[in-house]
Amino acid sequence: MTSAPDPQPGVRVELAVTGMSCAGCAANVERALRKVPGVREAAVNIATSKATVVVDPSVAGREALVAAVRGAGYGVAERDAAAEGTGEAEFRKLRRDVLWGGTLALIIFLGSMRHWFPWMPAPLRDLYVLWALATPIQFVLGLRFYQGAWGALKHGQANMNTLVAVGTSAAYFFSVAATVWPGLFALAGVAPQVYFDTSAVIIVLILFGRLLEARAKGRTSDAVRRLMGLRPRTARVVGPDGERETAIEDVRAGDILVVRPGETVPVDGVVVEGRSSIDESMISGESLPVDKAPGAPVVGATINKWGSFRFRAERVGEDTALARIIRLVEEAQGTKAPIQRLADVIAGVFVPAVIGVAVLTFAAWALFGPEPRLVTALLNFVAVLIIACPCAMGLATPTAIMVGTGKGAERGVLIKSGESLETLHKVDTVVFDKTGTLTEGRPEVTDVAPAPGVAIEDLLRLAASVEAPSEHPLGRAVVRRAAAAGLRPERVDEFRALEGMGVEAVAGGRRVLVGSPRLVASAGIDLAPLAAEASRLSAEGKTAAYAAVDGKLAGLFGLSDTLKPGARAAVDKLRRQGLRIVMLTGDNARTARTVAAAAGIDEVVAEVLPGDKAGVIGRLQGEGRKVAMVGDGINDAPALARADVGLALGTGTDVAMASADVALISGDLEGVVAARELSRRTIRTIRQNLFWAFAYNVVGIPVAAGVLYPFLGLRLDPMIASAAMALSSVSVVANSLRLRRARF
């Protein structure tokens, strides 16, 4: 297997770390990586078993990072096809170990409880037989704990493996001594009891907990796996010899591809021939199919419903929209939220503190406990070590982030980091760009005013006919309006585009002018009959385009950039949540106020240069506001980067997408509401997880130490402690998985 190339300057390097079992393990790996010269940043996600490192390759390469991880007592899997199956392979190994280990542990348990199960065969009640059965559990199944503990010890650290190794070894070797030298115990006045069942059952229960945890954690990555499952394997490419089916990896930008009904679009591109309707729900969350015609974009992994078409491939491989979505989700799932810092700090000192508590517990019971003191002290010592596992604490945040970001991806909301996810619910001010964000980003005909004696159908048909050859946005708007009315265009001759003014042509034998007031007036045509209508349109911030036929005024079109269908509803929902809503635009104040009124926005900042938008965001932040910026264009990029959270519409530019913290793939502003609600629910889940993780240890450790014994006569059996420890981790993951069922 060839090794991965060294990282480039400033790039992020990912390592698939094996052998981690708790937050303490993750902290140890982080410390080891940060000690490597050239490492600027290192973060380890226990839920994904992934280390993300920012390193200067002129100082250290990948080999140094791998060596640091292995030196800390953990492994590194290659990031190739084999590595992708590492998690499943570990799950299968855990399942196999639990099955045979559980069988032996059950026999040991039944044989040890001879008074409860007298029917057990005499050989299985023999202490030497129990010793023989317990040994492979202790040193084969338990080898992973010894290896992890030794790796941590070499760096002067301790982790969960340390707790398990010390605790089970104490019970095992105490039992060995009681089996081989029972007389020594009798001389000391201590009953020669054995606890092979305790050490064996504890190891198996911990492995069983890890098995359940691995299965539950695997479900947190379902979103990414589902996205990966959408990738088509082949494509039908049109060549000189006709159509041929080829592997998706062999498709190149510029290839012409064919998609038939029911097939998956293989890569991103533009339709060149044919019409169809495509299910784009995987990127937009919208269930309704989208009509496609020549010139329309198509996205890889979307599903063609009924028509056949050909399209030109433009983005292939890792450049496709689906690949970028997968990459963003994976990166987000590997990040930490600021709320995790407390857990990380505690985890770093937790295990040494627990060992200290366990030693004090042993000493207290050995000196002051009831007879047999040594036995009782040992059991309480083991119980403290076992119940104190910080696994639940370490899983509290990353599992919730994994599920939350995966849920967002299903809704077309791509959250790029845990920090963005946490900050979003704190936002109290939302700033919207106008053009392309609140509005469609293209002009539409909103008003049609025919001159006296002119039928509205004739006006639209003739104007659309002469505008059909034009590529001007205003002309295309007129064409769309006529098409929507079901009007067929006339034949056009002598077409002329008059730059900056309009168009002129002969349609159906009639000479038609469409364009600015200056164009029509220059032809000697009186505009007075429609002057009042023109003034009204101007007052509403709309653009007026005139039409003349055979030297006479025919009518007037009012055009404006129309509000997106869901914009008003999204703004209303955000306002009901108590948020301050601001519209920020470079457009003139009159037009801005018109659009703002339609969207239900009272606060407008207009006529702002692109470079000054970030300054407006800064002023709001200076007022103590947590600001989210929603935009789509290159001119919005500085403001998106400056805001506490930047949200870019997926219909906008790549620059805006790169500058933002959250990408709304569909371009629907309801995504802003969904993103904020997702943030709120995810952070609530994290807080619940952390509360129960802390509460478990706050209650469990004192009980295991025996604080209730003087009052209630209660002590915690080590086996019960191990079961409780496993269930605490599983409960945290299960609580995170509830986010998958959330509706918003």
Longest dimension (CA), the chain: 125
CA dist 35 → 13, 177, 309, 696 (Å): 16, 42, 56, 33
Considering only CA atoms, which of 626, 632, 669 is closest in space to residue 645?
626
Backbone φ, ψ for residue 233 (5° rounding): -95, -30
433 is catalytic: yes
Rounded Cα distance between 27 and 30, Å, is: 5
Are the C-beta atoms of 164 and 386 separated by less than 8 Å? yes
Instruction: Taking the CA atoms of 293, 294, 296 and 302 in sequence, report the sign of the dihedral they define.
Output: positive
Residue 676's Cβ-count burial label (10 Å; 0-12, 13-18, 19+) is buried
Helices H / strands E in the chain, number of each: 28, 26
Using an 8 Å Cβ cutoff, are 276 and 292 in contact? Answer: yes
Alpha-carbon torsion angle 564, 569, 575, 580, nearest 10: 0
Looking at residue 248, its amino acid is: I
The Cα–Cα gap between 640 and 626 comes to 13
Q: What's the rounded Cα separation, in Å, for the pair 408 and 386?
A: 37
Q: CA-CA distance, 47 to 45, in Å (whole number)?
A: 5
Backbone angles phi, psi at 285, to 5 degrees: 80, -5
Phi then psi dihedrals of residue 459, to 5 deg: -60, -50
Cβ atoms of residues 503 and 557 within 8 Å: no
Is residue 416 within 8 Å of residue 328, measured between CB atoms?
yes
Residue 49 backbone zone (phi > 0: left; psi -120 to 50: alpha; other: beta):
left
CB of 483 within 8 A of CB of 463? Answer: no
Query: Is residue 80 classed as helix, strand or coil in its secondary structure?
Result: coil
How far, CA to CA in Å, does 19 sit from each of 69, 77, 604? Answer: 10, 10, 55
The answer to whether the bond into 610 is cis (omega within 30° of 0) is no
Give, rounded to a whole angstrom, the gap between the first and last alpha carbons of the chain.
46
SS3 78: coil
What residues does 510 pair with on adjacent strands? 507
428 Cα distance to chain centroid:
23
C-alpha atoms less than 13 angstroms from C-alpha of 674 in its C-beta half-sphere: 27
**Which residues does 158 contact at the CB level (< 8 Å), separation at least 6?**
24, 149, 152, 351, 352, 355
Burial profile 46-70: b = 16 or more Cβ within 10 angstroms, e = fewer: bbbbbbbbebebeebbbebbbebbb
Record the tokens describing residue 269, joined without a space. Answer: 């591109």
Task: Determine whether 120 is exposed, middle or buried from the number of CB atoms within 10 Å of its CB (0-12, 13-18, 19+).
Answer: middle
The C-alpha angle 268, 270, 275, rounded to 5 degrees, equals 115
Q: List the catalytic residue out of 433, 587, 632, 644.
A: 433
Crossing angle between the packed helical segments 196-220 and 127-136, to the nearest 10 degrees: 30
Q: How far apart are CA 527 and CA 542, in angstroms?
A: 17
Q: Which amino acids are annotated catalytic?
A: 433
